[in-house]
Amino acid sequence: MRKSVAVIREDQSVESIPTGLDADTSWMAKGNCRNFPPAMFFPSDGVGVDHARRICAGCEVTNQCLEYAITEKIDHGVWGGCSERERRRIAKRRRAAR
């Protein structure tokens, strides 16, 4: 069975994002974001991205979160302290290094 996670977009709509078959998502329970409204991690501007980044900066699962978002090709939101654009750059650098 393919797993998915529910995310709440800034407009408060809920989106189901498919995850990998074997993706371990237990780290999500340790994320700092669990104490904040999910919409804060789906900002519409740079100020919102910076705010989310500050919360991610002190999170103990930043690496797992970033790798998850890159591996699962999650297009929206701040994950692992990185915006969509930053994650695309990381993924591009990794592909180029292969």
- Stretch of residues binding ligand SF4 (CB under 6 A), selected from 1-9, 15-23, 29-37, 89-97: 29-37
CB nearer to ligand SF4: pick between 16 and 97? 16
- Does residue 56 bind ligand SF4 (CB under 6 A)? yes
The beta-carbon contacts of 56-59 under 8 Å, at least 24 apart in sequence, are 56/32, 56/80, 56/81, 57/81, 58/32, 59/30, 59/31, 59/32, 59/33
- Does residue 90 bind ligand SF4 (CB under 6 A)? no
- Does residue 65 bind ligand SF4 (CB under 6 A)? yes
CB nearer to ligand SF4: pick between 49 and 56? 56
Residue 43 CA from chain centroid, whole number: 12
